[in-house]
Chains A and B, each alone.
Chain A
Amino acid sequence: MADPKKKTMFQKIAESQFLKSIFRTGIPHTRRQRMMAVLNNVFLHLHPVRLPKHAVKVKYTWCMGGLSFFVFLVLTVTGILLMFYYRPTVEYAYGDIIDLAEQVPLGIMREIHRWGAHLMIITVWLHMFRVFMTGSYKPPREFNWVIGVLLLVLTMLLSFTGYLLPWDQLAIWAITVGSNMARATPFLGHEGPGAALLAIGDINLVHAASDVRFALLGGRFVGEATLLRFYVLHCIGFPFIIMIFMVVHFWRIRKDGGISGPT
């Protein structure tokens, strides 16, 4: 063996000021140093420092939570790339989608985004199914299940708002049908129960141009304003909210005693 006091090239680089300024812990040798390496890294510190053996058993977890997050990252990257070409206006939207498929290099980008959206719904459902079947929603993880349900709803809202953006017949009528449910919201929808009670004399406070469906569509029917609203919600609004809840969700896995395992 070489002289232990003589530093190898690798050690010299690892202990240089440049790398030590980035990775403050240096090369971890002890358990404590390994722990510090994880805790001192903003990306790693969301993960547990040490894992129980069962946590990496794919047969138990199916890795569906991790895969959901991975698909979300793929959707974020491809979605940002699509935004460089797509214009959310009645005049251009449909043409830009065709353009993305036929004229822009790597025309499969939009399809990856679309398939990814379908896949994320599937992985989130399977993740929920696994968590349910293994009883991992039970205390002390019951609050994280609630966060998970919010994430499911946000995933579907992202899917729903993305559905309109191609601006073809399927998109327009699917959103017309889907948003009609909002008409029947109690008190908030103009055809919902209780809406008729909210009136001053003969003037209805909740009508077609003042109810929750209008706030969603930006009009009495699916039109230009709807396309823009859904675009903003799809690209900024919901991703922002879902990321906040994802951070909480991952954090709570650790705080609730780590990933669940067979007992």
Chain B
Amino acid sequence: MTEDAINQNPNENPESQNKPEVSPPASPVGEKTPPIEAKEKVSRRSFLTSATLAWGAFAVATAGILTGAGRFFFPNVLFEPPQTFKAGYPDEYTIGEVSERWKEKFGVWIVREKGMIYALSTVCTHLGCTPNWLGNEKKFKCPCHGSGFRSTGINFEGPAPRPLERYRIVLADDGQIFVDKTKKYQHEKGQWSDSESFIAV
């Protein structure tokens, strides 16, 4: 309430409010009031300006919220095993053995052959299940669709279209095996002879 309104005598209020309502009919019929209409009319220019500003602000806000909502689905911290790990010393693996030591936690088989150690991915190249190592039959067998792989990772039966992938494997400064899952080596691309796709022992 403005001060004027407060200072007014309440008894006079009805009259004072009525007056403006009564006066227009009292004015001569046909009297034109163009100045008021012109004042209230929104010009095309000002309408377009404010509409553009309003819709623009709305669009920016919506885009910002949608972007934030999209980003929301990519957390900054993952409660997953790290992509790199130390897998012990080469002596801990016997020649001709497929080690399942890191299968559960990191999804990696460490295979030691005569002269080399490599890290095989446990992801079947058919549709991504985890094969089992069948020690007696010396092969990996995928339970989902029956793909079979040799201990080297080469596919030989079932629907798998290509060999298992190998991960980057190097010797760390302390002499331990270091496996890096962010870099992979594919046989069909001729990458298994790359220097860091295996450790020579």
Task: Name A's B-contacting residues (CB within 8 A).
Answer: 173, 176-177, 180, 209-210, 214-215, 218-221, 223-225
From B144, which residue of chain A is reached at the shortest CB distance?
Answer: A173
CA–CA, A220 to B181, complex, Å?
12
Q: Considering only CB atoms and an 8 Å cut-off, how many residues of chain B contact the other chain?
A: 13
Cβ contacts under 8 Å, A223 to chain B: 80
Q: Are A219 and B74 in contact (CB under 8 A)?
A: no
A-B contact count (CB 8 A): 30
Q: Are B74 and A215 in contact (CB under 8 A)?
A: yes
Q: Which of B96-155 contact A (CB under 8 A)?
A: 107, 127-129, 143-144
How close is A6's CB to chain B, nearest CB, in angstroms? Answer: 53
Q: List 28 A-B contacts (CB under 8 A).
A: A173-B129, A173-B143, A173-B144, A176-B127, A176-B128, A176-B129, A177-B127, A177-B128, A177-B129, A177-B144, A180-B127, A180-B128, A209-B74, A209-B78, A214-B74, A215-B73, A215-B74, A218-B73, A218-B75, A219-B78, A219-B80, A220-B78, A220-B80, A221-B80, A221-B107, A223-B80, A224-B79, A225-B79
Task: Name B's A-contacting residues (CB within 8 A).
Answer: 70, 73-75, 78-80, 107, 127-129, 143-144
How close is A53's CB to chain B, nearest CB, in angstroms? Answer: 48
Cβ contacts under 8 Å, A221 to chain B: 80, 107
Cβ contacts under 8 Å, A209 to chain B: 74, 78
Interface residues of chain B: helix, strand, loop or mixed (majority): loop
CA–CA, A209 to B181, complex, Å?
13
Cβ contacts under 8 Å, B127 to chain A: 176-177, 180
From A220, which residue of chain B is reached at the shortest CB distance?
Answer: B80
Q: Are A210 and B144 in contact (CB under 8 A)?
A: no
CA–CA, A176 to B143, complex, Å?
13
CA–CA, A128 to B109, complex, Å?
48
Cβ contacts under 8 Å, B80 to chain A: 219-221, 223
Cβ contacts under 8 Å, A215 to chain B: 70, 73-74
How close is A225's CB to chain B, nearest CB, in angstroms? Answer: 8
How close is B101's CB to chain A, nearest CB, in angstroms? Answer: 19
From A170, which residue of chain B is reached at the shortest CB distance?
Answer: B144
Cβ contacts under 8 Å, B79 to chain A: 224-225
* Of A176, A210, A215, A224, most B-chain CB atoms within 10 Å: A176
CA–CA, A215 to B75, complex, Å?
10
